[in-house]
Amino acid sequence: MRVYNNSNVKNLADHAAEDLRNAGYPIDEVGNYSSGIIPTTTVYYRPGTDEEAAAKSLARAFGIRAEPRFEGLKDAKPGLIMIVTREYKPGSGGGKDGGNIK
């Protein structure tokens, strides 16, 4: 899974990635998303793949949205993409149900 910051809150993606790791989710990459404004913290998945169920489970655990990838993410490599925005509260959500999410 990749986690990207889409806010001006310094290190927000790092904090979110740490929360996800603590809940058992593997993190492949942490960085910034600057190709547009995302309205709220969302995990994106490729429709019709195992990513959809994984994204919805993660969204329930963390109280965020799960949505199909939008045009700007459609060609990104496989795996969940979480884009965090300023309302994300580090230390929120996430039980130990991460497991096999890529």
Does residue 91 sit within a domain? Answer: no
pLDDT, tens digit, for every residue of 29-74?
999 999 999 999 999 999 999 999 999 999 999 999 999 999 989 8
Does residue 10 sit within a domain? Answer: yes
Angstrom distance (rounded) from CA 28 to CA 50: 17
**What global pTM score does this model have?**
0.89
Q: Which domain holds residue 16?
A: 2-84
Does residue 24 sit within a domain? Answer: yes
Does residue 98 sit within a domain? Answer: no
* Predicted pLDDT at 4: 98
Contact of 14 with 39, CB cutoff 8 Å: no
Does residue 63 sit within a domain? Answer: yes
Does residue 68 sit within a domain? Answer: yes
Angstrom distance (rounded) from CA 89 to CA 69: 23
Which CATH number belongs to the domain containing residue 30 in this structure? 3.30.70.2390
Does residue 94 sit within a domain? Answer: no
Per the structure, how many domains does the chain have?
1
With b meaning 16 or more CB within 10 Å and e meaning fewer, what string describes 21-54? Answer: eebebebeebeebeeeebeebbbbbbeeeebeeb
Give residue 19's pLDDT band: very low, low, confident or very high (50, 70, 90): very high
The CA distances from residue 78 to 15, 21, 90, 92, in Å, are 23, 19, 26, 26
